[in-house]
Structure 1
Amino acid sequence: MQGFHIVALGGTLRPTSGTARALQTALDHAAAAGARTTLLTGEAIDFPNYDPAEAGTDPRVAHFIDTIRSADALLIGSPGYHGTLSGLVKNALDHIELTRGDARVYLDGMPVGLIAMAAGWQASVSTLQALRGIVHALRGWPTPIGVAINSTEGENAIATCAPQIAMMMDQIAGFLRR
């Protein structure tokens, strides 16, 4: 991944977010392979609800969009809230609409790795599926491997999924080399 910029977005507003820790694990893998990485979580993606008329005026949103524009690959992680992604993550993804007039519209042609973390397999898998559908709508290319993490497995839940996270990151690296 030498020379590529990998951006991760997601997590929660909690500083101890398990989803943010899982995204950081993926970014650490990318950094070890020579990538430049950026993690956008918590306050960095806590925007007012998407409003097409107002969204472009917020400097935090402008920074977010500039970061997305600079990405060669994206990671999206969300906790599973009631069987789907969080409002925080969905709202951040809605702001990608601001790229509709760009040469690369939305996430067109970009590899996207997905991580969903929830208290149980049903919620984590359904959240992963919801993320996959959104990435398709944004013209991104979700990796074949997505990572569902069952947080009820305790402190080792992320470590247990580390091989899947590494495989997902290797798929992103292979896509970028092509």
Structure 2
Amino acid sequence: MDEQTNEGGKPLVVGIGGTIGARSSTERALCIALDAAAQQGFATRLFGGADMARLPLYDPRATTRTPDEQAFVEAVRGASAVIIASPGYHGSISGVVKNALDLLEETAKDARPYLADMPVGLIATAYGWQATGSTIAALRSIVHALRGWPTPFAAAINTQVTRFDDDGGASDPAVVEQLRLVGRQVARFAPLAAAMPG
């Protein structure tokens, strides 16, 4: 399994999530989880809303890929773990997050295709509880289809009651701890995935 290492040989956790426009609560939540993985000795790479906005709609017949598409695919190829965060839109994940994940079809013929054998942390944010559950369920199904391993704990955040700030925190300390747990779990399981026979 080829894993990318950065910053003095550290394994990489890639974060995927956010919304187009201003830095969203989803992206802020993802950053808290990535920071927890970094505290466990991992390098991190964020593909937030602005990054995903630059990805064209996935066309499986395209013969070339843009530099942004190439950078995204190469980062995931080299990752030891991934964290995906999506807002709950109409009961499921957002289109920009799904479009980014669709682009992983580029890895179909790799020695390690898609998210095979990787731990994948999941975060859903929504304005109300109902969409958080269905969005987490959708993310789990997608990760299974991509051959990844959703970590046991997934963070479901109701942004109607929890507010994120510009300093990397949130109004509810329990939510911050849940997000940190997502980051710690992907860090904990990544060495186990690396030890699996190819």
Question: Of 159, 164, 168, which aligns to 1:151?
Answer: 159
Question: Of 20, 45, 48, which aligns to 2:27?
Answer: 20
Q: Please report the TM-score for the alignment, with normalisation by the length of structure 2.
A: 0.84
1:111 maps to a residue whose letter is P
1:43 aligns with 50
2 CA distance for matches of 1:3 and 1:57? Answer: 28
Structure 1 segment 91-106 matched on structure 2, within 5 A: 91-106=99-114
2 CA distance for matches of 1:29 and 1:75? Answer: 11
Question: 1:160 deviation in Å?
Answer: 3.3
Question: 1:109 deviation in Å?
Answer: 0.2
Segments of structure 2 that go 5 or more residues without pairing to the other structure are: 1-8, 164-169, 193-198
2 CA distance for matches of 1:145 and 1:161? Answer: 13
Residues 40 and 184, structure 2, Cα contact 8 Å, conserved in 1: no
- 2:123 counterpart SS class: strand
Q: Please report the TM-score for the alignment, with normalisation by the length of structure 1.
A: 0.93
Segments of structure 1 that go 5 or more residues without pairing to the other structure are: none
C-alpha deviations, 1:115-141, integer Å up to 9, x for none?
Answer: 000011110111111001000000000
Residues 55 and 61, structure 1, Cα contact 8 Å, conserved in 2: no
2:112 maps to a residue whose letter is R
2:184 aligns with 170
Question: 1:36 deviation in Å?
Answer: 0.4
2 CA distance for matches of 1:157 and 1:133? Answer: 30
C-alpha spacing 1:56/1:107, structure 2 compared with 1 (3 Å): farther
More helix by share: 1
1 CA distance for matches of 2:59 and 2:146? Answer: 18
Question: 1:54 deviation in Å?
Answer: 1.6
2 CA distance for matches of 1:63 and 1:165? Answer: 26
Question: Of 76, 82, 86, which aligns to 1:74?
Answer: 82
Compare relative contact order (CA 8 Å, sep 6+) and give the higher one, 1 or 2.
Answer: 2
1:132 maps to a residue whose letter is R
Question: 1:152 deviation in Å?
Answer: 0.2
C-alpha spacing 1:129/1:97, structure 2 compared with 1 (3 Å): same
2 CA distance for matches of 1:174 and 1:62? Answer: 28
2 CA distance for matches of 1:55 and 1:137? Answer: 24
1:119 aligns with 127
Residues 22 and 158, structure 1, Cα contact 8 Å, conserved in 2: no
2 CA distance for matches of 1:157 and 1:96? Answer: 35
C-alpha deviations, 1:22-63, integer Å up to 9, x for none?
Answer: 010011111122210000012212222111122742111011
Residues 10 and 19, structure 1, Cα contact 8 Å, conserved in 2: yes
Q: Does 1:57 align with 2:71?
A: no
Residues 33 and 181, structure 2, Cα contact 8 Å, conserved in 1: no
